[in-house]
Amino acid sequence: MKIAMLMHFYGCCDPFAPECTRTSPAYTQFVKELLRDGLIERPTKQQRQDYPGWAYKTTAKGDVMVNAICTTPQPVERTRWVMPT
């Protein structure tokens, strides 16, 4: 869920989940961790006015993390499944 949230905050300016679930323990824990790790931040006041419900966006560090996730090669089968080197 934490990776899904990061990907959403990278590519969307609408809420990740309905408001009733944005207070769940998992949601709040992952948001706190993403904020603490410097991967997301709040949009500016103007951005939030232009896009109601937009709560978070990725930072430059978060953008690099998303790029790393999206460009990691798929595992390959040798004698067993491994990540390519």
| 62 and 9 Cβ atoms separated by less than 8 Å | yes
| 14 and 54 Cβ atoms separated by less than 8 Å | yes
| Sequence ranges of the domains in the chain | 2-82
- pLDDT 10s digits, 11-46: 988 888 777 777 788 889 999 999 999 999 999 999
Q: 2-82 belongs to which CATH class?
A: mainly alpha
- pLDDT 10s digits, 47-56: 888 888 888 9
SS3 79: coil
The pTM of this model reads 0.81
